[in-house]
Chain A
Amino acid sequence: MEQEQSLIKAAQAGDQNAFGQLLNARYDTIYRFALKWCGSVSDAEDITQQACIKLGKGIGQYRGDAAFTTWLYRLVINCAKDWQRTQARHSSDDRESLAVTAYESAALEVGGVTGEETSGHAAEAALYLQQVLQQVSKLGEGFKETLVLVFGEGMNHAEAAEVLGIKESTVSWRIHQVRKHLNLLNAEGGNYE
């Protein structure tokens, strides 16, 4: 952590090597978050690239008033939401097929690297997850990121609240709503579980 602080300082002073190291270390975190968000490998790579570029442009704006991780999550969430907006403008047919694409691309791309068994599991998970996230997005703005931060990144409510710049109670309330909603879906024989 301390080492990272000094990397950040150096990068802010214009040291390209330091920035490269910082990015190298943080890329995986950003990518995994993006993958959880969108469920498709190629989309996640695009989101991550946007986030990296934004980081390159904006590292000077990090002031150290929040933890670097917190600041970074905010940046990545913004990139992910930008991506979402471009998605939203494609036709509804596209959106219907999104989950399928996620399934196929995960099967294809994961399969190549880790073998058949894992691929099936990861692809299925990606498909389920996208369906759940789609339901959650329908609850309103802010729910998806809350869910991904709390369940995907394993943050506690206070940490998620800091990233999102909202009250801890709001995070708790949103998570409660998500639980209630998914429960309801389940009872109606919806597509979760």
Chain B
Amino acid sequence: MSDKQADKLASLFDAQQAAPINPDAKQQAINAAMQAFAAAQPHQAAEADAASATGQTNVNHGPLPWWQKIKQRFFQGFASSSRPTDNNNGRRNSMTQQLIWRYGAGATFACVLMLAILIGVKPTDFDDNNIALQPVEIAERGTALSPEKVEADALTEQRGKQQAGENTPPLNPVEIKEQALAENFGASAPATTALQLKKEARFVTESAKRSANAMGVPTISRKPIASLDSVGNSAGITNTDITGTQAPEEGRDDFTRVEENSVKRVVDEPVSTFSIDVDTASYAFVRRQLNHGVLPQKDAVRIEEMINYFDYQYPLPESKRQPFSTQVVVSESPWKPGNQLVHIGIKGYELERKQLPKSNLVFLLDVSGSMNSRDKLPLVKQSMALLLDQLNPQDTVAIAVYAGAAGTVLAPTPAKEKQKILDAMNGLNAGGSTAGAQGIQLAYQLAQTHFDKQAVNRVILATDGDFNVGITNPDELKSYVERKRESGVFLSVLGFGQGNYHDHLMQQLAQNGNGIAAYIDTLSEAQKVLVEEATSSLFPIAKDVKVQVEFNPATVSEYRLIGYETRKLNREDFNNDKVDAGDIGAGHTVTAIYEITPSQSDSKLIDESRYAGNRSQDDNKAQNAQQHEEFGFVKLRYKLPQESTSKLINQAIPAKTSMSEQSPLMQQEIQFATAVAGFAQLLKGGKYLADWTYDDAITLALANRGEDVFGYRNEFVQLIRKAKIAK
């Protein structure tokens, strides 16, 4: 492109720069922003809470602020799901409505009128891309729902109820009520497609449940009549139940952008330092997306979390004086001939049940309105019940909840009074907005009251990650959690649900609180995290575990750390005990893989530096020959849980492929880890994998599944197949 062309390009932009601005759109956007601004002010939120007590809402009643001069105009903007111009608008604007809706949510539950408006303004809550279209009559959406119309709909609710009663006699009263709402809505927008009706009906069902909760009517979760899915088990949640009914909605899931690690020249940067990571949240999230036939966002894929999801059978540590064993194995790279993979495997020792320290646990459960779906609060309750079974009788459990306000549901209670704990948990209902920060403060207070220096004191937070009231500043929240960690109370985070998941915040909180961050999408994942891995999730055996690898420029020309992008440390941080790093629980396995290019190989990506290259080689020749037998040197630092000074482990990396020296079991584990690493990289775009494909990943994983008692590895192979056909 010549400069003339650059000018042309600039002039294209200039043409747009001159475009006129629609004053109506401007006013509308400013109004909306004003609403958001007002809702974000702490004192305004408090007013909203106060208003809810008197049945008022800050959205529709009360004195109108100056910017909201014309009520009609406000609703024109937000009843846009029925804007006739563009059929994408509904979806995009529903984000707007969600925002408004959330801030109003605290006030809505006591107010039936508001509920009716909600039905009107937030009809397209669910994604429409992944459900097969039924051959139904497709017509344009109905005309705009004005507030008056919505009110009228609310008034006709009774009539709708009767109609439903006549049409579907065999259903119980609660079901009739839900159907009535669904039908009522259908009647108010007769031109809606069956597909849309289904989604809307599902939303209405939840609204109905909420209103019923507010009125003290017991409800059971069930699907509305318009649902195209089979009717699920209403009492318990099964895997297929959740994954089959929850439409993927990735719009608001929040992931931080991370650049994949690049290839480094050993001459330029011989030392690589990172903190270990035992989280598995990324794998569960990726699985969920793939089960919906959608490829996950690249930023949702954290390679190390995918690799560490699986439990590799590395040899156990020989003595307990050193809490974990380290294995260093060099294998051929399957995706790039000439390159080799250096596996660093860490295995923590297993605690026997009678050795387990006492636990002082506080469950902090999010019961905000956003948790009110079947894969959230009900799954949280079931998960916590599972965890309860793993506790010893003398352990204590407390429950705190947060929504519009934080509260204690159960004072610290010994685990042997299991029924009391279960009763408290089952009495919880979702409703209100999320005051996560106050909840955390309360939970820490509870943990502090039963603080036991010998015990594991831990707050377990279960949430969909929506913190919108209280300390909303993530940095403040993080430093709070960090201070509490120093006082001996740790934090683990269990993420639930989708569509609103704030991955980054959850990760950061868990990292700062010396805990795990796990994402629970199904009951079987809860089983894995809270039952099979209960000891590793709850009992740390080493903290601040850092790895530093120095590569030998005489034998290695380039290297690349696969994954761990978010865990990078500075070289000097390794020996600085003040710098926080990851923790290892009892029985945890952690694997890190480097891809290296030996100096004799011609598979290098980076050319030799013309001026600096030869000198270093000459230096190395002068050194003793032993150096040529090593690719590099691994150093590992860790602290015992109660200590503040670190210990060091050293191990050399032999400069040859050491796979053949390993036991068949070890070879299999290494190969499987390689398959997972390869698959995760493919999901991130596979820029270093040449022409290695999903099929190669399947072959490698299939050959190395091993015993696979729990079926996780088979599931992994299925996931690769799903990724192959996913869009």
Q: CB distance A113 to B20 under 8 Å?
A: yes
Within 8 A of A (CB), among B1-37: 1-2, 5-6, 8-13, 15-22, 25-26, 28-30, 32-37
- Contact yes or no, A35 B19, CB < 8 A: yes
Is B486 an interface position by the 8 A CB rule? no
- If A20-B34, A31-B26, A49-B28 touch, whether A110 touches B20 (CB-CB below 8 Å) is yes
Distance in angstroms between the alpha carbons of A189 and B26 in the assembled complex:
40
Stretch at the interface among B89-97, B272-280, B366-374, B577-585: B89-97
Q: Which A residues touch B25, using CB under 8 A? A: 45, 48-49
- Contacting pair A52 B30 (CB below 8 A): yes
Q: Are A49 and B96 in contact (CB under 8 A)?
A: yes
Residues of A near B6 (CB, < 8 A) are 151, 179
Number of interface residues of B (CB under 8 A): 51
Contact of B19 among A53, A90, A110, A152 (CB under 8 A): A110
The reply on B99 being an interface residue by CB < 8 A is yes
Q: Give the segment of B38-46, B234-242, B695-703 that binds chain A.
A: B38-46
CA distance A64 to B34 in the complex (A): 22
Interface: A3 (CB within 8 A): no
Interchain CB contact under 8 A, B21 and A20: no
Residues of B within 8 A of A50 (CB): 95-96
Q: Is the CB of B92 within 8 A of A122?
A: no
Most buried by A among B12, B38, B95: B12
Chain B hits for A122, CB < 8 A: 15-16, 18-19
A45 touches B29 (CB 8 A): yes
Which residues of chain A come closer than 8 Å to B19, judged between CB atoms? 32, 35, 41, 106, 110, 122
CB distance A186 to B29 under 8 Å?
Answer: no
Once bound together, how far apart are the Cα atoms of A127 and B106, in whole Å? 45
Q: Contacts of A180 on B, CB cut-off 8 Å?
A: 1
**A27 at interface (Cβ–Cβ under 8 A)?**
yes
Evaluate contact between B251 and A56: CB separation under 8 angstroms: no
A129 in contact with B37 (CB, 8 Å):
no
| Complex: A39 Cα to B6 Cα, angstroms | 19
A7 to chain B, nearest CB (A): 13
Contact B16 A132 (CB under 8 A): no
CB distance from A172 to the nearest CB of B (A): 14
Annotate A60-77 by CB proximity to B: 1 below 8 A, 0 otherwise. 110000000000000000
Please judge, given known A-B contacts A14-B43, A86-B92, A151-B6, whether A49 and B29 are in contact too, CB under 8 Å: yes
> Whole-angstrom distance between the alpha carbons of A86 and B129 in the complex?
11
- B12–A57 CB distance below 8 A: no
The reply to whether B13 and A129 form a contact with Cβ atoms under 8 Å apart is: yes
Contacts of A152 in B (CB 8 A): 10, 13, 16-17
- Let me know if A138 is at the binding interface, CB within 8 A: no
Task: Give bound CA distance, A114 to B21, whole Å.
Answer: 11
A36 at the interface (CB under 8 A from B): yes
Count CB-based A-B contacts (< 8 Å): 150
Counting contact residues on chain A (CB < 8 A from B), the size range is: 35 or more
Residue A183 at the chain B interface, CB threshold 8 Å: yes
Are A90 and B28 neighbours in the complex by a CB distance under 8 Å? no
**B16 and A53 form a contact (CB under 8 A):** no
B residues less than 8 Å from A27 (CB atoms): 21, 26, 29-30
**In-complex Cβ contact of B37 among A16, A45, A48 (8 A):** A16
Closest to B100 in A: A53
The residue in B38, B40, B93 that gathers the most chain A C-beta atoms within 10 A of its C-beta is B40
Q: Is B645 an interface residue (CB 8 A)?
A: no
Query: A36-B13, A50-B95, A50-B96 given as contacts; is B35 within 8 A of A56 (CB)?
Result: yes
- Give the residues in chain A near B34, CB-CB below 8 Å: 16, 19-20, 23, 56
- Cα(A35)–Cα(B53), bound, Å: 44
Least CB separation from B2: chain A residue: A183
B8, B99, B251, B473: which contacts A82 (Cβ < 8 A)?
B251
Q: Complex: how many Å from CA A18 to CA B65?
A: 14
Flag whether A125 is at the interface (Cβ < 8 A).
yes
The A-contacting residues of B in range 134-154, CB under 8 angstroms, are none
With a CB–CB cut-off of 8 A, which chain B residues contact A42? Answer: 85-86, 89
A50 to B29, CA, bound (A): 8
Given contacts A83-B92, A151-B9, A182-B5, contact A32 B17 (CB under 8 A): yes
- The answer, yes or no, to whether A46 is at the interface (CB within 8 Å) is yes
In the assembly, what is the distance between CA of A157 and CA of B610, in Å? Answer: 28
| CB proximity to B under 8 Å, residues A145-193 | 148, 151-152, 154, 178-180, 182-183, 186, 193
Chain B residues near A89 (CB-CB < 8 A): 129
A56 to B65, CA, bound (A): 15
Tell me the nearest residue of chain A to B88, going by C-beta: A90
- CB-based contact B22/A132 at 8 Å: no
What is the CB-to-nearest-CB distance from A133 to chain B, in angstroms, rounded to a whole number?
Answer: 10
Q: Can you name the residue of chain A whose Cβ is closest to the Cβ of B687?
A: A140
14 additional contacts (CB under 8 A) given A53-B96, A129-B16: A19-B33, A32-B17, A35-B16, A42-B89, A57-B39, A87-B88, A90-B88, A113-B20, A132-B12, A151-B6, A151-B9, A151-B13, A182-B9, A186-B5
Binding site for A on B (CB under 8 A): 1-2, 5-6, 8-13, 15-22, 25-26, 28-30, 32-41, 43, 65, 67, 85-86, 88-89, 91-93, 95-96, 99, 129, 250-251, 297, 473
- 27 intermolecular pairs with C-beta atoms under 8 Å apart: A14-B43, A16-B38, A20-B67, A24-B30, A28-B21, A32-B17, A39-B16, A42-B86, A45-B22, A46-B92, A49-B28, A50-B95, A52-B29, A52-B30, A52-B36, A56-B33, A56-B35, A57-B36, A57-B37, A58-B40, A85-B251, A122-B18, A132-B12, A152-B17, A180-B1, A182-B5, A186-B5
Of all A-B residue pairs in the complex, the 7 with the closest CB atoms, nearest first, are: A125-B15, A56-B36, A56-B37, A52-B33, A56-B33, A49-B29, A152-B13
